[in-house]
A and B are shown apart, each in its own frame.
Chain A
Amino acid sequence: MKASARSFAHPVEEEFARILDFYGIPWQYEPRTFVLERDEQGNVTDAFTPDFYLPEQDLYVELTTMQPHQIRHKNRKVRRLRELYPDVNIKLFKRRDIRSLLLKFGVEDYPEMMTNKL
């Protein structure tokens, strides 16, 4: 799927998809939800849906533009996912990583893109 053919929850996600498209890297957007916790009745009480899956790399990518002190929740989810699904490869791109990525690819208006929480 091409970035232009769908909508995203956040402009950073759209830019990330455009970069992947540019280099011909196949991707899927939020294709799978991982159950992290169930209650005693078996109902899902916590789950995690990474933003992207890169099938050729067998890699999930989660993007977050939250400030470092705000991402404890996200870190915990990624850590729990790795514990429960050890065969799943996931990378968490934090605010600083996203800034580096956008700078590298010449996205000059990256500060505005990162004002909304992702």
Chain B
Amino acid sequence: MTSISMDSEQPGLSPMLRDISRIVLSEEEIRRRVRELGAQISQDYAGLNPLLIGVLKGVLFFMSDLLRAITIPVTVDFMAISRYAPRQPAKGPVRLIKDLDEAVEGRHLLFVEDVIDTGLTLSYLLRTLKARNPASLEVCTLFNKPEHRLADIPLKYKGFDLPDRFVVGYGLDYQEGYRHLPFVGELKPEILRLGRSGSEDVKRANLEKAGH
């Protein structure tokens, strides 16, 4: 466990740091593991020109760092899907709201995820991609939470197993907040009970500063 420095070099993060009870994975631990994954992928996919695919938005941070750790030619593309809307069944089942720009038939695909928890989202996306006849389709996730897995997801690359706790940072959010924390930290239980996120604190602080 790493203690949290409240004298962060990024003062803008301070309101969010107050909401974190402990750091689960430090910035340095994440950076080191991403470099290792990049090296392994570079070795395994040499000469295959793989297409790395991510689903927006949480994967942005990992994808960005992973791409820079890969030393072979690759291309990248993103998908986005509709979110589950509680109490609004009329919105229908999950659907793509942004499809890939690249054709994938015959390509070697590596699906890159920030975290796999239940596996429900990824299960849908893998089914969609498989139907397009790629040459291969593998999964790389930085964070794995196997406790709540409801769909089988074969993992070729995995960064870390995460504890069965509600964690945020490095792409992981709570109510769209905390994604940009450079580490992964456990959110204080009272934040979850109150149902508010650090991003709301920041908005509130900015409004106060602006004299509203």
Contact = CB atoms under 8 A, between A and B. Distances in A.
Interface in B39-97: 83-86, 89, 93-94
Contacts of A19: 84, 120
Interface residues of B, number: 26
B120 A97 contact: no
B190 interface: no
Instruction: Please classify how large the interface on chain A is, using the bins under 10, 10 to 19, 20 to 34, 35 or more.
Output: 20 to 34
B199 interface: no
A23 B94 contact: yes
Contacts of A109: 86
Interface string A25-65: 10000000000000000000000000000101101010000
A22 B89 CA distance: 8
B195 interface: yes
Contacts of A61: 150
Contacts of A100: 117, 148, 164, 166
B14 interface: no
B192 A57 contact: no
A22 B123 CA distance: 12
Contacts of A97: 147-148, 164
A54 B193 CA distance: 31
Q: Which of B93, B118, B147, B193 has the most CB of A within 10 A?
A: B118
A115 interface: no
A93 B127 CA distance: 26
Given A103-B166, A108-B195, A21 B151 contact: no
B152 interface: yes
Contact of A23 (B85, B89, B93, B174): B93
Contact of B148 (A54, A57, A93): A93
Given A24-B94, A59-B150, A99-B192, A106 B86 contact: yes
Interface in A87-118: 91, 93, 96-97, 99-101, 103-109, 111
5 contacts: A22-B94, A23-B123, A24-B124, A25-B150, A109-B86
Interface of A: 3-4, 15, 18-25, 54, 56-57, 59, 61, 91, 93, 96-97, 99-101, 103-109, 111
